Amino acid sequence: MPVAAQKHPRRFRLRDIVEDKRIVLMLALGFSSGLPLLLVLGTFTLRLAFSDIDVRTIGLFSYVALPYSLKFLWAPMIDRLDVPLLSRALGRRRSWMVAAQVATAASLFLMAFADPKTDLALLGLGAFLVAFCAASQDVVIDGWRIDAAGSDMQGILAATSNLGYRLGLITAGAGALFIAASGGWKVAYLCMSAFMLVGLVAALFAPAYDRRVAAAAEAVPQSRLWSARRALAEPLTELHSRFGPALYAILLLVALYRLPDFLSGVMASPLYRTLGFDLKEIATVTKLYGVWVGIAGGFVGGWALARLGLFPTLVLGAFLAASSHLAFAWLSAGAPEIWRLTVAISVENFCGSFAGIVLIAYMSSLTSPAFAATQYALFSSLYALPGKLIAGSAGFIVASVGYPAFFVFTSLIGLPVLALCIAVGRRTGAEAAPKEGGGDGNSPSVSPLPSPARASAGEPETA
């Protein structure tokens, strides 16, 4: 397990909001990270559903978000290479942030002018480009946050990033749907493209904390050619040296922990449309109210981690995430009433966010400070990859068995995942509980916590 930090994270003070500009910058960068996610997932599938695209095709379009799950492949390049011209003026991390944000905004602009009924392929290309650019942005924002926070601000900046991320979700979820209901999808996506300016401004004003890292790297003689072994193989080798053969079981647990959520999440939006809910009802309950329920679930997950320890909460999260899908099975079998939708969203979002925060803590505990960014990118990509690969078949399953049976099936998938948690979690140190007297309630075995915003970049969006 990673060596615990010698210095305890300091507590948040209200005056930090005005005294420490890192907090405001992290809020804006978290917003920029959360904004694109729903525009290629939940909001995007609603756009397809309200354009009367076949449910099987909607399921296949879930593959456009695969870059979120594959970002570990180019994360080392972002860590090691400069952006031509920009890096000289802004530094490496800020230049990558600016490049990714401008490219994301341009891709959203492309999606605005692609009509699903006549330009479906072009719309899919735009969505893929948004996912690729936004996933790249997530990698570099994680790296900037880790550099900026030092040893005493990791928890504060992680929580701030999560808040900004959730605000981005609300904007791209409820905000986009309200705009689409009034002015159409083109106006909605143009507005979302303009909102990327929030993160762009923050990136331009952010200090270049990577300069000290670059200076340290220059002190060591290196080949002019970028070494793939040093960039990707060394973090993997370090993981294997610590965990040995158990690493394969750990990777399997990370990969399958949220599998039921990813499989069910892609069919949530078509379900709302099939039941007869309109855009404003969906926006209010699932994209506005649902996000705050998710935030509450995250806070309860954090509280459970502090009180129960990582292993018991890991098992509890797996159980809650799987069983919560029965709420959607219940919703799909009944009348399209707002109160029923509210109950289902409350259960699903609370339990899903609870499980998501627990998985973030587990993945964070597995990383080494020397390779935190690359190893966490690997874990956060891996946990979404199997679900994203299988999710494309969800539409075909729904077309064959219907929505109620489909959501019961996704719930049952969680049973072997729960068994894997019990078998693997304790053996890999997840049972470590907080020490008594540790006022912050953080387990000493957990390395600096990567932002929930970055993990949630692959998160199934049912809200």
Q: Is the pLDDT of residue 429 over 70?
A: no
Structure tokens at 391: 């999710």
| pLDDT digit string, tens, across residues 119-141 | 999 999 999 999 999 999 998 88
CB within 8 A of 301, min separation 6: which ones? 313, 317, 353, 354, 355, 356, 357, 358
pLDDT of res. 405: 93
pLDDT above 60: residue 262: yes
pLDDT band, residue 149 (cuts 50/70/90)? low
pLDDT at 362 over 80: yes
Average pLDDT over residues 361-370: 77
Identity of the highest mean pLDDT range in 100-109, 258-267, 369-378, 417-426: 100-109
Per-residue pLDDT tens digits for 380-394: 777 877 888 888 888
Distance CA 203, CA 211 (A): 15
Residue with tokens 């999260």: 317
pLDDT in tens, 177-232: 999 999 999 999 999 999 999 999 999 988 877 644 444 444 444 554 445 556 66
**More confident position, 256 or 452:** 256
Q: Given this model, what pLDDT does residue 447 score?
A: 36
From residue 183, give the alpha-carbon distance in Å to each of 41, 135, 273, 285: 21, 29, 19, 20
Burial of 283 (0-12, 13-18, 19+ CB in 10 A): buried
**Nearest-angstrom CA–CA distance, 87 and 261:** 39
* pLDDT band, very low/low/confident/very high, at 241 (cuts 50, 70, 90): confident
Q: Pick left, alpha or beta for residue 12 (phi over 0 → left; psi -120 to 50 → alpha; otherwise beta).
A: beta
Distance CA 321, CA 418 (A): 10
Q: Is the pLDDT score of 456 beyond 60?
A: no
Higher pLDDT, 200 or 440: 200
Cα 232 → chain centroid? 21
CA atoms within 13 A on the CB side of 421: 26
Which range has the worst mean pLDDT, 40-54, 92-106, 436-450?
Answer: 436-450
Burial readout 399-416 (b: 16 or more C-beta within 10 A, e: otherwise): eeeebbebbbbbbebbee
Kindly report the pTM of this predicted structure.
0.73
**Would you say residue 449 has pLDDT above 80?**
no
| Both structure tokens of 313 | 């909460």
Mean pLDDT of 344-354: 93
What is residue 444's predicted lDDT score, i.e. its pLDDT?
Answer: 32
